Amino acid sequence: MTLRKPLYALLAAAVLTMTACGNDNKQVPASATHNMNNGIDLSHYQGVIDWDELANDLDIGFVYIKASEGTDIRDEMYHYNMMNAHRVGFITGSYHYFIPTVSPVLQFRNFRSMVAPSDIDIVPIVDVETRNNLKPQEFRDSLQIFMDSLEVAYGRKPIIYTLWAFYHDCIQGHFPNYKLMIARYCDQMPVLKDTADYLIWQHKSDGSKMGIKGNVDLNVVTPNHSIKEIMFDRALKKLESTENKK
């Protein structure tokens, strides 16, 4: 996942005039015909995406979209991306880039101001890549406050996204009840040193997809798991209803 980059201000201004995204415009899930256990994550870094072209890629079923970072950064492409991901029928989720040295409560408020529970089909992700020189316990306490707030607001525990090395340095053994998304860019699925199970593997940061100019992160649900594990009940029922009609 990607830190803040130069802004797409003109498009952002247009996006602000649009209706806030929601499930009212959502079509038949793309996952009914797509590989729903493969996905990508996006932010304004990818620029303006041709969502209709991207929807033709049958190897994508779910999309995580950056909503916020820290206490006051809001991804200006979020509503545009979320609205279009809904429109073409992808399974959708949102993520927040966590900054340990600023208030976890204000970070939660920042994320919540962007993401209505009805916007997302799958549980939120908290992107954790550094402790910014905080003491390990201070870092973990701050992260826990943020994640507890997400759970209260959205009704499910968030997923922890982190790098393979950072997991072993700071996460391992401390958040056993949270599902994990591990980033490590290699040809074979990595095994964590403590052999912990994880749900999603981010296996590439320089992927290429139709409709996206430049690189994009590629993600895959690991064997013995399914994207359905992290779907909210309303989204899962809609998906299963579609599958039953096939």
Residue 41 appears among annotated catalytic residues? yes
Give the position of tokens 């959708």. 92
Residues 6+ apart with CB under 8 A from 93: 62, 63, 64, 65, 120, 121, 122, 123, 124, 125, 230
Contacts for 14-19 with beta carbons within 8 Å, 24 or more apart? 15/76, 15/77, 15/79, 15/80, 16/79, 18/79, 18/80, 18/83, 19/83
Q: Which of 69, 119, 127, 129 is catalytic?
A: 129
CA distance 160 to 70: 16
The residue count of the chain comes to: 246
Query: What are the E-state strand segments in the chain?
Result: 38-42, 62-69, 73-74, 91-97, 125-127, 159-163, 180-183, 200-207, 216-221
**44 neighbors 1 (Cβ within 8 angstroms):** no
Residue 129 appears among annotated catalytic residues? yes
Residues 6+ apart with CB under 8 A from 60: 30, 34, 35, 38, 39, 40, 54, 90, 209
Give the position of tokens 């991901």. 85
CA distance 171 to 156: 20
Q: Which of 24, 41, 148, 187 is catalytic?
A: 41
Catalytic residues: 41, 129
